[in-house]
Structure 1
Amino acid sequence: MRNMSTLSEVERSGCLKLLKLLSDVDLFSLCDTVTNKMIAAENVTEARETILSFSKNAEELLKRKKVHRDIIFKYLAKEGVFMSINIEKHQLVKRTLELWSTEMAAVKEHIQQGTDDSAERRRKRTEDDTSNVETDYDCETLILGQQFCSWFFQLLNSQNPLLGQQPQDWGPQHFWTDAKLRLFSSAGSEQMEEFVGAELVSCRLLALTKEERLHFSPNLEANGLKALTSPHGLVLVAVAGTIHRDSVCLGIFEQIFGLIRSPMDNNCWKIKFVKMIIRGQDSMIGTQTPAPALMYSSSDLLMLSTQ
């Protein structure tokens, strides 16, 4: 007997967007699972419609193994909901259901209150808001920025002997040969340092953790990180965070990276330039420090790519 779906129109629309992010292999496998192999879909469109028809509810579909954590993460990012890169799947499922519940409530509000003109104004405003989000936060680039910062600071912090970690593979190989570093620090006195060349840039950044024993805690939430692609293909990643030594918070930092793919190194991303600002503050021991927000606009970052 066929299971009748109880998906609302909002949930159905959201689930369809999610399914379009699946690979064809995972999509057809999910179709087999949902239908117990009773229906063989002939194409991806039929597979998606079959999955939606045979799913009892949205939560059941979201919890399916083939609907991977990264798929839900990417879907939420496309919808303008930016989550921590380390968040677990069950939390992403919960947030997605909350999003759809909010949208359903908004639809009911439209029906109860709106005239046609009012509804059209709301629709236009939503489209404008979505357009702005897409301009400032390209989903793929934002995810790249989060992944890069997570990798970079984990790698850099592992060099700090106070943390007792096995040092990871830090070195000039992660930078372009003509890489540049501009380091401005304001902790008591102001100081500006500039370095050119992969070896020098790598050594100066390494000294921050290995010799100065600093630990960097980046804010990878939406208000602490921005990433975009310049017209010339340079990916700009800006992040804010706090600086610690042992249990003491020493201050905050803002860091901007310029990334370019290297065709000579398996097309991996390498660092072209780094601009870093460190601001000291009164030391705080054993207290929760608010995650600093990033103040750069998209236009600010694009200007930096030409300097």
Structure 2
Amino acid sequence: MPNISAHHIDGLRDLLINNENTPILLKLVKNISKNMCLIEPEAALTFVVEQVGDVHKLLSKKHISKNLLLKYLQARHPGTATDFTKSDLIMRVIEYWDMDKKSDNNGANETEQFPINLFAKQFSEWFYNNLNQTQIQLSDFWIDGALQLRIIADDEVQDVECSSSVDVLNTLVNTKEKFSFIFNLNLTSDGVQGRIDPYGLVIVLSCGTLHTVNQCVGVFESLFGLLRDPFGDNNWKIKKLKLLLRSQNAAHRHTLGASSSLMDALQLPVSNEAVDY
């Protein structure tokens, strides 16, 4: 088991899994493994974490340059001095991750009880329980409900778009049955949150892991846009759904902070206004 803490792994993910630095992560894998080739970034990060087992040692690797660490810090703390040694920068990056965790914990304690987040948790649990049991119904969607589904597996990307409730329902059910997926929702505040977009849609963001009978096979990320239906007992119905299914080694609980497809929506402000369930 790796000795690197979960929040340091999240920090390494933030540092290394992006367009600029993922090639460096893949070079690390080849260096540590003597030329093993992994091209899926999450699998590569998991391998490096398990093999090195120490965050200081990992950041000290020659592929992770002083300039890379400095650029990372300056992006998050503009004005960071440039006259640090690499050892100083490693300590400052780790301190930043530790402070970020404390800030996240304080913020989570305050915001996870906001009505919008309680609503998001209740809705997500209801939806994925029903999807796992194939009990989702046509009446759960607006008639013009839209779905954007992306499936990433074996380096192939499949995109499906639907613009009617019938097509959305059929696509969800058929996809689940085709792969025999069970959706394991992350019900913590790291895995389910709510927002309200500028157009009044209630946005529910959720993520978790994908399982078959015997193993964890990947992760999922979802964004729901919900509106009340005044002609349907004023119930909340799904107006739009963006769903990402990605095959990968999921050694750790999947979080919203690691959900690349949800980054823009996570920037929406968190509202403390009442939400009627």
> Scaled by the length of structure 1, what TM-score is found?
0.48
The amino acid that maps onto 1:183 is L
Check if 1:232 corresponds to 2:199.
Answer: yes
Post-superposition CA distance 1:238-284 (Å, at most 9, x none) = 111111111121101111111111111111100011101111124x8
Aligned 8 A contact 2:143 2:164 in 1: yes
Q: Please identify runs of 4+ aligned residues in structure 1 that moved more than 3 A.
A: 128-138, 296-303
Distance 1:265 1:131 in 2: 39
**Per-residue CA shift, 1:221-254, capped at 9, x if unaligned?**
0111121122432110111111111112110111
Q: Is the 8 A contact 1:224 1:241 kept in 2?
A: yes
More deviation in 254-263 or 201-210? Answer: 201-210
Structure 1 243/299 Cα, relative in aligned 2: closer, same or farther at 3 Å?
Answer: closer
Question: Which residue does the alignment assign to 1:149?
Answer: 124
Structure 2 vs 1, CA of residues 246 and 131 (structure 1 numbering), >3 Å: closer, same or farther? closer
Instruction: Tell me the distance in 2 between the aligned counterparts of 1:172 and 1:187.
Output: 28
Structure 1: runs of 5+ lacking an equivalent: 1-127, 160-167
**Cα distance in 2 between the residues matched to 1:158 and 1:244:** 14
1:218 Cα deviation from its structure 2 partner: 0.8
The answer on whether the counterparts of 1:137 and 1:228 sit within 8 Å (CA) in structure 2 is: no
Contact 1:227 1:237 in 2 (8 A): yes
Aligned to 1:292: 254
Residue 265 (structure 1) aligned with residue 232 (structure 2):
yes
The answer as to whether partners of 1:239 and 1:256 remain within 8 angstroms in 2 is yes
Q: Report the Cα offset of residue 299 of structure 1.
A: 5.0
Distance 2:117 2:160 in 1: 29
1:251 to 218, 223, 226: 218
In the other structure, the counterpart of 2:152 is: 186
**1:293 is matched by which residue type in structure 2?**
T
Instruction: Name the amino acid aligned to 1:187.
Output: A
Change (3 A) 1:129 1:278: closer
Structure 1 residues 298 and 183 mapped into 2: Cα distance closer, same or farther (>3 Å)? closer
Mapped to 1, the partners of 2:141 and 2:202 lie a distance apart of: 14
Percent of paired sites with the same residue:
30
Pick 1 or 2: higher relative contact order, CA cutoff 8 A, min separation 6: 2
- RMSD, matched Cα: 2.9
Kindly provide the CA deviation profile for residues 157-176 of structure 1, in whole angstroms up to 9, marking residues without a partner as x: 012xxxxxxxx3x2211101
Cα gap change, 1:132 to 1:281, in 2 (>3 Å): closer
CA pair 234-136 structure 1, distance change in 2 beyond 3 A: farther
Q: Tell me the residue number matched to 2:180.
A: 213
Q: How has the CA–CA distance of structure 1 residues 266 and 181 changed in structure 2, closer, same or farther, with 3 Å as cutoff? A: same
2:255 alignment partner, SS class: coil
For residues 104 and 242 of structure 2, what CA distance do their matches in structure 1 show?
Answer: 31
Q: CA deviation at 1:133?
A: 6.3
TM score, norm. by length of structure 2: 0.53
Say whether the 8 Å CA contact 1:242–1:251 is kept in structure 2: yes
Distance 2:175 2:263 in 1: 27
1:26-41 equivalence runs, <5 A: none
Distance 1:148 1:238, change over 3 A: same
2:114 maps to: 139
Number of aligned residue pairs: give it. Answer: 162
**Residues of 1 paired with 2:255 and 2:195: CA distance?**
17
